[in-house]
Structures are given as C-alpha cells and as structure tokens.
Amino acid sequence: MFAKRTNWNLTLNRLSEALAAHRAAGKPLLDLTVSNPTECGFEYDSSGILNALSNPASLSYEPNPRGLESARRAVAGYYADRGENVPLEDIFLTTSTSEAYSYVFRTLCDPGDELLIPSPSYPLFDFLADVQDVKLVRYPLLYDHGWQIDFHALEQAITSRTRGVIVVHPNNPTGHYTKHAEIAKLNSICAVRGLAIIADEVFLDFALEGDRPASFAANRSAPTFTLSGLSKICGLPQMKAAWLIASGPQEWKREALARLEVIADTYLSVNAPVQLAIPKFFEQRHSFQGQVMSRIRTNLAELDRQLAAQKTVSRLRVEGGWCAVLRVPATRSDEDLAIGLLTTQGVSVHPGHFYDFPSTGHAIVSLIIPESKFKVGLERLVAQS
Ligand SMILES: Cc1ncc(COP(=O)(O)O)c(C=O)c1O
C-alpha cells in the first residue's frame, strides 16, 4: 500500500549497529562527528535569544508567502554586509535549507528529471531527491592539492532530463569553495543549456583562507537559486529558519518567483515568533562565528601537530566549513576502520563512504568539537591507524 519512493532500506548499517550497541552498553564515547553547534559548548546570548521569541507582534497572524518583511530585511542585510544587493521580493523564508531544496526541486523538476550533485558531498540529498521524485546524477570533485570541479565529467553527465546543477559552497565535507573561474564556467554551461544553478551556502561565512568568498545570491548570468539558513550561519538549527533566493536573467526570475510564490503560499510554513526574532538571531552571529572560527583554527593546529609526528594519517586541504577529511590507510574498508576505532578506542568518526567518497582511505572529523575532546579523540585515532 505504500509508494515505491518510500521503499527505503531502513536496516542499520554495521557502523550504526555498533554505535547503538556502544551507547546501549553505557560505554564512554568520544564522538568526533558532532556538528550540532548547540552541543559544542559555544556561548550564546541566551536571554537575548529567548526575549526575541516573545515579541507581542507574534500574537497576530500576517500570512505572506515570502515571509515577514522584517525577517527578509534582515536576510537582505546579511548580504548587504557582504557587499551583495539582494532585493526583498527575491527572498523566500523556509523552515530549513532542506525545505528550500524541496521548493526548488518542485519548481524545476517533473518526476524522473535529473539534478547534478557533487561527489563527495553531504548525504541528505538522496532522501530529499527520493521524496521529490528527482533523480540525482553525480559529478566528481577532484583533489589535487585542493578540490576542484571536474567540468569534463559534469558536462558528460548532462542529459535531456537535467534541470540543474547543485553546488555546495563551501562543500560539506571537502570544505572547498567554488572559485571565480568555476562560477564563470558554471554560468556559461547553465546559461547555454537552460539549467539552473542551485547553490547551498550554509557554511559560506566559515572561510579559513584568502578573501571573503562571493555568494551566488547576486549571480545574474544564469538562473540561480541560493539557499542558506540560520542553522550554521547563526548556530541555531533548532530555530528552523532558512531562506531561498532567486536571481538570474530578469524574465526567468519573474517566472521562477511567481511559481515559488504558489508553492510557498501553499505551506506558509515559517512561524511568526521565529520570523520576528530573525533580526536578533542575525545580530548574535558575529559572536557565534568568532567562537567557531577560533575553535576550528585551534583544532586544525592540533591536528597538524599530531599528524606531523607520524606518517600514517594525513589531512586534505581545508578552505572552510566545519570538517576535516583525513587520509587513512586503505588497508581495510573505511567502515571497518570506523568500527575498529569505536570498539577499541571509543572514538566515533564518519567513514568516507558516508559522504560518497569514491575510494577507501578517508575518515571525516568535525572541527567544532571542544578542543580537549578533539585532542584526545585524535590521539586515539592516530594511535589506532
Ligand atoms: C551542506 C548542507 N546544507 C544544508 C544543511 C541543512 O541545513 P538546515 O538545517 O537549514 O536544513 C546541512 C546540514 O548539515 C549541510 O551540511
């Protein structure tokens, strides 16, 4: 009686089983995968956040498919601070980036249409696509002293069913930003073939190197949807507030906004107290981001210190984001390595295949873990590898 799209294999994989058993046995766990910022010991302006949620204006209901103007003004202000001009009418508020993806997928794709996604990348896409009846086709990212898009493979992957190209900027977990030359190339491919760029910028502000990376929100050379939200930018995933911006050729944008408006009006999903609090949430991002960047730099320095003392494990370049990709010996599967680490050392890491790495020999650790835990977890990882 159920739809085929929900025929997921929901049995636990060996690593999830081992983790569940480890937890059930009450054994101590040094979890190097934690990326929930509310669990990492950052200081938030708690009373400011809670006060912002009790605005008396939330006692009245003002439905607006794009979201309250005051909230969209705060989103536009965020881009203005980055030097990018985003008109208020081009912004739609959503409850999460995942919901924003679903609006975009519904706007662009009929059942069976295809979207290109980077590989490696974060694992939520498969479920999002299944739920929207969209087929995902992977294009590889290549590593050679840094990550880059394999444009030859990307172009080969385009078919008559392709509707868009997803870029994660910076990517999770590779941490690489789409460079100016890559943006220009993507624009020309997408403009010529009538494809949309779908840019996920949830980690945009967490750059470790070079100049501040440009956002896609002001990209006008090709049809573009830019997605971001408060879960990473402000460290507030529990507030369920994100957004979607359409930009691109004028005629295309008018049509896209009209269609998005119907989808958004059907749900009107973002609640009033959170929308009214969004300006305050943005204000406290500077303090949050400062703490995160300092944590990431300290953990990366510790990682490099420990890696310099041995030869078995190394790390890939990190341009930004909250993760580090470790190169580990490929003498067994990444899953076996992760299970071994868990059972012998009580340390949890993500195996490369979790993020769709095509070959073995990768483990992914979060860089936002409190420094003392990160140090000890890493010592055990290195000792075990
Ligand atoms: C690249 C990327 N996009 C989106 C999300 C989810 O964001 P949200 O909480 O707004 O749905 C995540 C969560 O980890 C992510 O890594």
**What tens digit of pLDDT does each residue of 137-179 get?**
999 999 998 999 999 999 999 999 999 999 999 999 999 999 9
Residue 8, classed as helix, strand or coil, is: coil
Residue 79, classed as helix, strand or coil, is: helix
Q: Is the pLDDT of residue 100 over 90?
A: yes
The structure tokens listed for 12 are: 């636990």
Classify strands 362-366 and 323-327 as parallel, antiparallel or unpaired. Answer: antiparallel
Of 32-41, 239-248, 268-277, 351-360, minimum mean pLDDT range: 351-360
Distance from Cα 56 to the centre of ligand 1, integer Å: 30
Q: What is the pLDDT of residue 234?
A: 98
> 36, 38, 92, 98: which to mutate for ligand 1, most atoms within 8 A of CB?
98
DSSP secondary-structure letter at 320?
B
Position 221 confidence tier, pLDDT thresholds 50, 70, 90: very high
* Amino acid at position 154, single letter: L
Cβ atoms < 10 Å from Cβ of 48: 13
Nearest atom in ligand 1 to 172's CA: 1
pLDDT averaged over every residue in the chain: 96
* Amino acid at position 74, single letter: A
Position 211 confidence tier, pLDDT thresholds 50, 70, 90: confident
Q: Kind and range of the H or E element at 171?
A: none
Q: 371-384 and 334-345 helices cross at what angle (nearest 10)?
A: 110
Q: Is the pLDDT of residue 313 over 90?
A: yes
Distance from Cα 101 to the centre of ligand 1, integer Å: 10
What percent of the chain lies above the pLDDT cut of 90? 95
Distance from Cα 180 to the centre of ligand 1, integer Å: 23
**Residue 270 CB partners (closer than 8 Å, separation 6+):** 67, 71, 93, 94, 95, 240, 241
- pLDDT tens for 7-35 read 998 898 999 999 999 999 999 999 999 99
Position 210 confidence tier, pLDDT thresholds 50, 70, 90: confident
Beta bridge partners of 118: 139
Residue 93, classed as helix, strand or coil, is: strand
* Amino acid at position 282, single letter: F
Distance from Cα 202 to the centre of ligand 1, integer Å: 6
**Which residues does ligand 1 sit against, CB inside 6 Å?**
96-98, 122, 168, 172, 200, 202, 229, 231, 237, 242
DSSP secondary-structure letter at 207?
B
